[in-house]
Amino acid sequence: MKILVATVFIITVMTSPLMASEQFKKGQCIYEKFPIKVQITSVKQLDSNGPPKFEVRFEVLTTQGLPARVENIVYGRDFHLLLMNKTFPGMLFLKKYDITPEKIFDCDFNVLIQGNCRRSFFEFPNIKLDDYIGS
């Protein structure tokens, strides 16, 4: 009887509704990575000198199953999609990665758990934010 109870407990823990996460080290800091989905909410051309730049906004779609400490950071907010050099992307970048309103992308939301680094950031497996095409 005791063995059966222990088995049920292990299955309950392993099938927890929280999303799976993994830890990774970046420099001197350790982050926890949460796989999520985001949706592009708007793409607007900015007034700028030189090649056109675009303000791209997105929201997180998959907050269900995130730990509360992570969900509180992303729920109900929209975010800017910026290149690694903190600039807005250009038209060629948007076309290359097919970035359009309502498009859904896989994303990793990374949260700092140890060290003195940036507290959180988004990574897109299918979008290279260090691709400065058309910038």
> What pLDDT is recorded for position 65?
83
Asked if 135 and 88 touch (Cβ cutoff 8 Å), the reply is no
State the sign of the Cα–Cα–Cα–Cα dihedral 33, 31, 24, 114: negative
> What pLDDT is recorded for position 10?
32
**Integer CA distances (angstroms), 133 to 37, 50, 70, 83, 96, in order:** 25, 14, 32, 11, 9
Among candidates 62, 77, 68, 51, which has minimal Cα distance to 135?
51
> What pLDDT is recorded for position 118?
85
Domain extent listing, the chain: 22-123
Give, for all 135 residues of the chain, the pLDDT tens digit: 444 333 333 322 333 344 556 776 667 899 999 999 999 999 999 998 888 999 999 999 988 888 998 999 999 999 999 999 999 999 999 999 999 999 999 999 999 999 998 899 999 999 999 999 977
Give the pTM: 0.78
> What pLDDT is recorded for position 20?
58
What letter represents residue 48's amino acid? Answer: S
> What pLDDT is recorded for position 19?
53
